[in-house]
Structure 1
Amino acid sequence: MTIFEIIGWTGAVSYLLSYFLLSFNKLKPNSISYQLMNVIGGFCLVVSAYSTRDNPNLVTNFVWMCIGLIALFSIIMKRKR
């Protein structure tokens, strides 16, 4: 197993775990934990997709990661007020 596969599996686990925890009300969509897990998952899957030149997967996960970053920033800014 290559480092890129390990990174990819880490991203997949992060996505799936965050969705599982959200679905069973262990996390809320506006929680830092949920959004951070999505950002980490997206980043890892972007790195993995880049290594295999899987551009549709790379773009999809990059956009997902950006959505998570924007949501994370928004949550943090609301908490500071």
Structure 2
Amino acid sequence: MEMFLAAVGWAGAGFLLAAYALVSAERIRAGGVAFQVLNLFGAAALTANSAYHRAWPSAVLNMVWIVIGTAAITTHARTYARTDAPLR
């Protein structure tokens, strides 16, 4: 189990780094769905890893990150539903 959660944690770090790198390279929009999804998956993976290791400050930080990402994706979805605008 420990090895699995270590891999999950590294994957989460990879998702967060990918989100930052892609925004910095202007490949995706900072407020876009792709950025939010990468951050959401990264935060979820790091939450699992941090909770397993009882690193509660990191786990709580990432849980808040999940709430923020979920709210942003929900806002995008509602905007899309009202305007038929493409999700970006």
- Unaligned 5+ residue runs, structure 2? 83-88
1:21 aligned residue: 22
Flag the structure with larger Rg.
2
Give SS of 2:13's match.
helix
The residue correspondences of 1:51-70 to structure 2 (distance < 5 A) are 51-70=52-71
Given the two structures, how large is their TM-score scaled by the length of structure 1?
0.95
**Dislocated runs of 4+, deviation >2 Å:** none
Assess if the C-alpha contact under 8 Å between 1:30 and 1:75 holds in 2: no
- Unaligned 5+ residue runs, structure 1? none
The residue correspondences of 1:1-81 to structure 2 (distance < 5 A) are 2-81=3-82
Compute the RMSD of aligned alpha carbons: 1.0
Given the two structures, how large is their TM-score scaled by the length of structure 2?
0.88
More off after superposition, 52-61 vs 1-10: 1-10
Q: 2-side partners of 1:38 and 1:75: how far apart?
A: 15
- % same residue: 27
